[in-house]
Amino acid sequence: MLSEETKEGMKRAEDKANRVHENWSTKAERFLMRSLKRRKHPFMTEDLRTASKRSVPPPPSNRAWGGVIHRAASNGYIKRVGVKSVKNKKAHGAYATVWRSTITY
């Protein structure tokens, strides 16, 4: 469960992304849903961000993706299956959630 502070931070980041890039959230959510149809293996949010670079404008802060991922999890489209170290060297080995699509076709 996310703290209210975390939820507010995600909302601020996403709101700013929507101000900078019109309908950013909608574009990001559509990309995620298309991606979930193809992804049969676990993924991390940073994998999604990297894959989205051609389809979705980069938000001012990568934290904007948190709201998109949180809604997908809350709606049951993805589920948490573990944690592992992020690939971003600047994050100094921080851990992040590993997700798996629950969508079946």
Q: Where are the domains of the chain?
A: 4-101
Tell whether pTM > 0.85.
yes
* Per-residue model confidence as pLDDT tens digits over 17-47: 999 999 999 999 999 999 998 878 999 999 9
**CATH class of the domain comprising 4-101:** mainly alpha
* Pairing assessment for the beta strands 78-85 and 95-101 based on DSSP bridges: antiparallel
**Ramachandran category for residue 23: left, alpha or beta (phi over 0 → left; psi -120 to 50 → alpha):** left
pLDDT of 87 over the 80 cut: yes
Single-letter amino acid, residue 80: R
pLDDT band at 99 (very low <50, low <70, confident <90, very high): very high
The average confidence (pLDDT) of the chain is 93
